[in-house]
């Protein structure tokens, strides 16, 4: 039996197009890395706030290493970063030098990008 000449080409083209449309999202979902993996591993730093710039969205945290040696580390707060003070949602305006803080961050293009900043113990008020 012979197929009519004009049916095979459009039929095959349609089947190939459908296969591509169905397979492409499945392949991307199965082989793609999550955004977190693409940004690299998430790090955590515990220290004391020594500087805050709300306009530039940057924090400087002093980390005390073994042996008492301290170093300052700068972070840029991500636009969607979660800021907490004593377990309650807050803003960057509430972060002050002297606060004890835990910062979760990723390193991207040589910069430390903070995804969360959790102030566990705000700095005491001076009289």
Q: What is the pLDDT of residues 7-35, one digit of tens each?
A: 656 655 555 555 445 554 544 444 444 44
CA pair distance 42, 105, nearest whole angstrom: 6
> Has residue 123 got a pLDDT over 90?
no
pLDDT at 23: 52
pLDDT tens digits, one per residue of 49-106: 999 999 999 999 999 988 889 999 999 999 999 999 999 999 999 999 999 999 999 9
Q: What is the pLDDT of residue 27?
A: 47
pLDDT score recorded for residue 122: 76
Mean pLDDT of 101-112: 95
CA distances from 124 to 84, 86, 103, 121 (A): 17, 13, 20, 9
Paired tokens of 122: 């705000």
């Amino acid at each position: 039996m012979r197929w009519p000449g004009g049916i095979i080409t459009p039929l095959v083209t349609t089947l190939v197009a459908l296969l591509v449309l169905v397979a492409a999202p499945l392949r991307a979902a199965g082989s793609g890395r999550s955004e977190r993996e693409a940004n690299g591993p998430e790090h955590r730093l515990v220290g004391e706030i020594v500087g805050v710039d709300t306009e530039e969205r940057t924090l400087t945290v002093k980390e005390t290493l073994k042996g008492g040696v301290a170093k300052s580390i700068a972070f840029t707060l991500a636009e969607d970063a979660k800021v907490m003070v004593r377990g309650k949602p807050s803003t960057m305006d509430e972060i002050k030098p002297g606060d004890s803080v835990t910062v979760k961050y990723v390193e991207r293009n040589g910069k430390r990008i903070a995804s969360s900043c959790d102030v566990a113990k705000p700095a005491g008020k001076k009289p």
